[in-house]
Structure 1
Amino acid sequence: MVHIRRWLRTGTVVLSGVALLAAALAGCSSSGSSKRCVDRGSYSSAKGYKVVENKNCSSVKAAVDGAWYYGGTEKKHWVSGGSFTKPAKTSGTSHSGKKSKKSKSRSKVKTRH
């Protein structure tokens, strides 16, 4: 009976650890929170840009001069440290960030005549 209780406690610890790891990885995901709609006219050197509703970046009849802001850190509906430039896709890059080129080897077969 003691062996079963110990096994259950160990299983609970392992499952809890896996759940914490999954939550941490989900929090580090770059999708979803890396693109924000901001008011270009709201810049403050102390706070950055004011985050506004997405409709302000999608509509011609927006209430503010909205633009997409990529990256950065958001604090209390203000974001700073990012850019208005959309980041390039990272697929096909090596760990150094440079595009990897597949080498094409063309071997010529030499024949004797």
Structure 2
Amino acid sequence: MAENRRRLRSSTVVLGGMGVIAAALTSCGSEPDRRCVDRDSYDYANGYRIVADNNCNSSSSGSSYGKNRKSGGATVDADWYYDADVSGSYADYGTFSRSEAVDRGGFGCSGGSGGG
């Protein structure tokens, strides 16, 4: 009887350990949350104004900083803004650096990963 209990506990520990490893691996490989914002629209009370994703998607490097795009007739300086707090149509307290957003985001992630 004691042998059955020991096996049950051992398998529970193994399965629980596998879950922790799976969580660590998926958090490192996942993409950070991002919003396309107008870099010229910062408001101290609200943050950056969120604009349509197609304003950021047209750059082949993944970042469109420094390139003006037309959005509803207005010129915007659009770029991806990562891991921001979103409130309505504004985003604040994030970063424009994708690699910084990945580095600060996951359990078990190393700080040495590079990227765009």
Q: TM-score range by the shorter chain?
A: 0.3 to 0.5
TM-score between the two structures when normalised by the length of structure 1: 0.48
* Greater length-normalized contact order (CA 8 Å, ≥ 6 residues apart): 2
Quick check: which has more Rg, 1 or 2?
Answer: 1
TM-score between the two structures when normalised by the length of structure 2: 0.47
